[in-house]
Chains A and B, each alone.
Chain A
Amino acid sequence: MLRYIVKRVLLMIPTLIAVSVIVFTIIQLPPGNYLESYIAELQAQGETVDQQKVDFLRQYYGLDKPLPQQYLRWAGGMLKGDFGYSFEFNMPVTKVVGDRMFLTIIISLVTVLFTWAIAFPIGIYSATHQYSWGDYGLSLLGFLGIAIPNFMLALIMMYVANVYFGTSIGGLMDPQYIGKPWTWDKLMSVLAHSWIPVVVIGTGGTAGMIRRLRANLLDELKKQYVVTARAKGLPPGKLLRKYPLRMALNFFVSDIGSLLPQIISGAEITAVVLSLPTTGPMLLAALKSQDMYLAGSFLMFLAVLIVIGVLVSDLALMALDPRIRLTGGISR
């Protein structure tokens, strides 16, 4: 078992390295480097370029060095918690980002929990009552959840809240907590404000989850052990709880690998519309102004979040499923 955990964690390392190489490639993609265009822009505006600052930045990123060295410098810095320097804001990325990454984690976590809480009972109901009116109705709702783009749902909810309740639903905490250190009250305030983004982000994922859970459970319900148990006279409720549901639970945990990227994608765009203080709006702003180091850090952070999420789900799966625990296989 310990061997499996170690193996699984070690497997993460090449993935993370590959991810960081891709992110670094994207950072390098725009023609020329940001520094040059930055200087050109300043000169075009007739401002003097602070040679000292330019030298500092060039040194900081090793821009005069070959690419592999630049990469090593960048990746090594990230390991030490140094995410680079934002040209746009003129300060280290870590300072620019502030709470945003933490808030993104909170929102994503709450959304995963929300998705599970909604999808689990509905999926079970749909599977056990296949082709009933309830099943059809819920399926249709699920399809709508998939079809309505996140950002539209966010806009519509803002519109509804504005027209009918006269309130603005942007923001993620009471004003008095903005820029303050984290306290219990602040966390509670964030949680209280997070329900709208969570609902908006969660719908798409929940709908997909319900459909997958339903299909999975239906497959289980057709298996022979269910028939056997039924033939033995086990009451339906107990039968469901005892066998197929546990199999479905397995899938629930392992499915986080596809759920998490979806939620994080949704969270980014929803945050832009609702102007939440998470990574979304800033990622967009950074991309638009081609502040690539800032954007790259966000991208890297989100990817790491997903890789860790999958790791956690694999470990949880190991705890849940003796087959994995005993053979040491890898679930995904």
Chain B
Amino acid sequence: MSADVLEPQVREPALAHYVSTEPFDPASAVTLTPEQERLYLASQWTLMWWKFKQHRVALVSGIILLLMYGSTLVSEILVPYNLQTRNTDFIYAPPQRVHVIRDGRLVAPFVYGLDKTLDLQNLRRVYSENLNEVRPLRFFCSGDPYRFWNLFDASFHLVCPDPRGTLFLLGTDRLGRDVLSRIVYGARISLTIGLIGIALSFTLALVFGGLAGYFGGWIDVVVQRMIEIIRSFPELPLWMALSAVLPVTWSPILVYFGITGILALLDWTGLARAVRSKLLALREEDYCTAARLMGARPRRIIARHLLPGFLSHLIASATLSIPGMILGETALSFLGIGLRPPITSWGVLLNEAQNMNVVALYPWLMLPVVPVIVVILAFNFFGDGLRDAADPYR
């Protein structure tokens, strides 16, 4: 014990001072202006949203994706023709141009009729615009009948061809089907396969990554080895092999789910690694130890305490792996071992553009690649923005 404690304390003389009679309010020092309140009391998701909004490219990408996914709900209405409508008189017709100026005057949008001649020397159909046939477009009109969502019959379209003419904005294929309509319909399959696939692979990644990260030990070793083995296969050839052994007797819709499953089966490894390493770091945190000491069971600790800590980050990573799946499906269908007609995805459409002749003679059949590129780019930017927004340390 030191000496100064034993000595009597030197007291300062009492000073005159002011005592407020108002009741004490402990929060008075930290009263927030409404402006501050909005900022400091914002939830994690609100903060992320604000941060995400600043990332212009990501925001625009998000809107594009939203529109594209929205379009899959009403594909039937958006397109002039049905998925399987064949115009047997117009096989391999080139894209028709929409004109708005006729005789130097602005008129309602119209297309010219198509004249067909057979080039007997090269054995191909040659189409030319017939300037005397003016075929105005009809808007909000009644055209090809369809069964909307398999619920009721309808024939309403946003835009239809003139009853006497045609409207092939992106040309037709070898059966005379409108390429534009087929691309819009194809979005249904191509876009949903990414979503369903990622849901599957996300679940797998959470289960395996969670087990490995939380329990460690031999479970970790086994999962790690499993991931390593799966990753030592080249993705595409393995996809090819697995989808080639899907039984031919399966119905197209079963094949669709089969392919989705195959894509997910090989895709979860990257995500699982992210989950594992995050969990490994987080389970050493004090709050986790505290929960364990209070007797919380592993399931509760993982789900209530650990997952919320990195779920946002995980969602962002998952977004970034959707494009890989869409590309995978496209590649498989392009090679002819993925989805089969009548199911129509962008890959199935591209399957027609497989050989050199088609590419040289009918280049518009390559157009389904445009939405593929747009979607992949959009998902990449969107995921990047999400990831930045989800990271509290940036």
Is A43 engaged at the interface, CB distance under 8 Å to the other chain?
no
Looking at B120-128, B138-146, B178-186, B231-239, the stretch in contact with chain A turns out to be B231-239
In the complex the two chains form, is B241's CB within 8 Å of A272's CB?
no
Q: A149-B334, A287-B241 are in contact. List 14 more A-B contacts (CB 8 A).
A: A22-B229, A143-B380, A152-B369, A155-B359, A156-B366, A158-B359, A159-B363, A159-B366, A261-B233, A269-B334, A269-B335, A272-B335, A287-B240, A306-B234
Min C-beta distance of B241 to chain A, whole Å: 5
Looking at B26-34, B167-175, B242-250, B305-313, the stretch in contact with chain A turns out to be B242-250
Looking at A24-32, A52-60, A63-71, A177-185, the stretch in contact with chain B turns out to be A24-32
**Best-buried of A30, A287, A307 by chain B (most CB within 10 Å):** A287
Is B58 engaged at the interface, CB distance under 8 Å to the other chain?
no
Residues of B within 8 A of A143 (CB): 377, 380-381
Q: Chain A: which residue is nearest B235 at the CB level?
A: A265
Is B360 engaged at the interface, CB distance under 8 Å to the other chain?
yes
For B322-353 the 0/1 string (1 means CB < 8 A from A) is 01000100110011110000000000001001
In the complex the two chains form, is A295's CB within 8 Å of B380's CB?
no
Residues of B within 8 A of A148 (CB): 369, 373
In the complex the two chains form, is A284's CB within 8 Å of B337's CB?
yes
Kindly identify, within residues 107 to 159 of chain A, every residue whose CB is under 8 Å from any CB belonging to chain B: 143-144, 146-152, 155-156, 158-159
Residues of B within 8 A of A18 (CB): 225, 229
Residues of B within 8 A of A144 (CB): 373, 377
Residue in B330, B334, B337, B373 whose CB lies within 8 Å of A287: B337
Q: How far is the CA of A110 from the CA of B393 in the complex (A)?
A: 40
Interface size class of A (residues with CB under 8 A): 35 or more
Min C-beta distance of A208 to chain B, whole Å: 11
Kindly identify, within residues 287 to 326 of chain A, every residue whose CB is under 8 Å from any CB belonging to chain B: 287-288, 290, 292, 295-296, 298-299, 302-303, 306-307, 310
In the complex the two chains form, is A299's CB within 8 Å of B369's CB?
no
Which secondary structure characterizes the binding site on chain B? helix
In the complex the two chains form, is A158's CB within 8 Å of B356's CB?
yes
Residue in B232, B236, B238, B373 whose CB lies within 8 Å of A15: B232
Min C-beta distance of B87 to chain A, whole Å: 26
Kindly identify, within residues 13 to 43 of chain A, every residue whose CB is under 8 Å from any CB belonging to chain B: 14-15, 18-19, 22, 26, 29-31
Residues of B within 8 A of A31 (CB): 247
Q: How far is the CA of A262 from the CA of B331 in the complex (A)?
A: 14
Is A10 engaged at the interface, CB distance under 8 Å to the other chain?
no
In the complex the two chains form, is A261's CB within 8 Å of B244's CB?
no
Is A163 engaged at the interface, CB distance under 8 Å to the other chain?
yes
Residues of B within 8 A of A22 (CB): 229, 233
In the complex the two chains form, is A149's CB within 8 Å of B331's CB?
yes
Residue in A147, A152, A284, A290 whose CB lies within 8 Å of B323: A147
Min C-beta distance of A279 to chain B, whole Å: 8
Kindly identify, within residues 140 to 154 of chain B, every residue whose CB is under 8 Å from any CB belonging to chain A: none
In the complex the two chains form, is A288's CB within 8 Å of B237's CB?
no
Q: How far is the CA of A324 from the CA of B366 in the complex (A)?
A: 49
Residues of B within 8 A of A265 (CB): 234-237
Is B264 engaged at the interface, CB distance under 8 Å to the other chain?
no
Residues of B within 8 A of A298 (CB): 237
Q: Which B residues are within 8 Å of any A CB, using their own CB?
A: 225, 228-229, 231-238, 240-242, 244-245, 247, 323, 327, 330-331, 334-337, 350, 353-354, 356, 359-360, 363, 366, 369, 372-373, 376-377, 380-381
Q: How far is the CA of A266 from the CA of B232 in the complex (A)?
A: 15
Residues of B within 8 A of A152 (CB): 350, 366, 369, 372
Residues of B within 8 A of A258 (CB): 231
Q: Chain A: which residue is nearest B249 at the CB level?
A: A31
Residues of B within 8 A of A14 (CB): 225
Q: How far is the CA of A262 from the CA of B380 in the complex (A)?
A: 18
Q: Chain A: which residue is nearest B378 at the CB level?
A: A147
Q: Which A residues are within 8 Å of any B CB, using their own CB?
A: 14-15, 18-19, 22, 26, 29-31, 143-144, 146-152, 155-156, 158-159, 162-163, 168, 257-258, 261-262, 264-266, 268-269, 272-273, 283-284, 287-288, 290, 292, 295-296, 298-299, 302-303, 306-307, 310, 332
Residues of A within 8 A of B231 (CB): 257-258, 261
In the complex the two chains form, is B232's CB within 8 Å of A307's CB?
yes
Min C-beta distance of A318 to chain B, whole Å: 18
Residue in A158, A269, A306 whose CB lies within 8 Å of B233: A306
In the complex the two chains form, is A303's CB within 8 Å of B233's CB?
yes
In the complex the two chains form, is B337's CB within 8 Å of A155's CB?
no
Q: Chain A: which residue is nearest B245 at the CB level?
A: A29
With contacts A19-B229, A149-B327, A284-B335 known, is A155 near B366, CB below 8 A?
Answer: yes
In the complex the two chains form, is A295's CB within 8 Å of B244's CB?
yes
Residues of B within 8 A of A26 (CB): 241-242, 245
In the complex the two chains form, is A155's CB within 8 Å of B236's CB?
no
Q: How far is the CA of A143 from the CA of B334 in the complex (A)?
A: 22
Residue in A163, A292, A299, A306 whose CB lies within 8 Å of B360: A163
Residues of A within 8 A of B380 (CB): 143, 146-147
In the complex the two chains form, is A159's CB within 8 Å of B360's CB?
yes
Q: How far is the CA of A162 from the CA of B225 in the complex (A)?
A: 47
Residues of A within 8 A of B359 (CB): 155, 158-159, 162
* CB<8 Å pairs between A and B, sample of 5: A14-B225, A147-B380, A155-B359, A155-B366, A290-B244
Residues of A within 8 A of B356 (CB): 158-159, 162, 168
Residues of B within 8 A of A162 (CB): 356, 359-360
In the complex the two chains form, is B236's CB within 8 Å of A268's CB?
yes
In the complex the two chains form, is B331's CB within 8 Å of A287's CB?
no
Residues of B within 8 A of A306 (CB): 232-234
The 7 tightest CB contacts between A and B, nearest first, are A265-B236, A287-B244, A147-B376, A264-B234, A29-B245, A265-B234, A18-B229
Q: How far is the CA of A146 from the CA of B377 in the complex (A)?
A: 8
In the complex the two chains form, is A147's CB within 8 Å of B334's CB?
no
**Best-buried of B240, B337, B376 by chain A (most CB within 10 Å):** B240
Min C-beta distance of A215 to chain B, whole Å: 11
Residue in B225, B245, B372 whose CB lies within 8 Å of A149: B372
Q: How far is the CA of A307 from the CA of B356 in the complex (A)?
A: 35
Residues of B within 8 A of A15 (CB): 225, 228-229, 232
Q: How far is the CA of A157 from the CA of B236 in the complex (A)?
A: 22
Q: How far is the CA of A56 from the CA of B242 in the complex (A)?
A: 28
Q: Chain A: which residue is nearest B226 at the CB level?
A: A18
Min C-beta distance of A141 to chain B, whole Å: 12
With contacts A18-B229, A159-B360, A310-B232 known, is A299 near B241, CB below 8 A?
Answer: yes
Min C-beta distance of B282 to chain A, whole Å: 21
Q: How far is the CA of A109 from the CA of B247 in the complex (A)?
A: 36
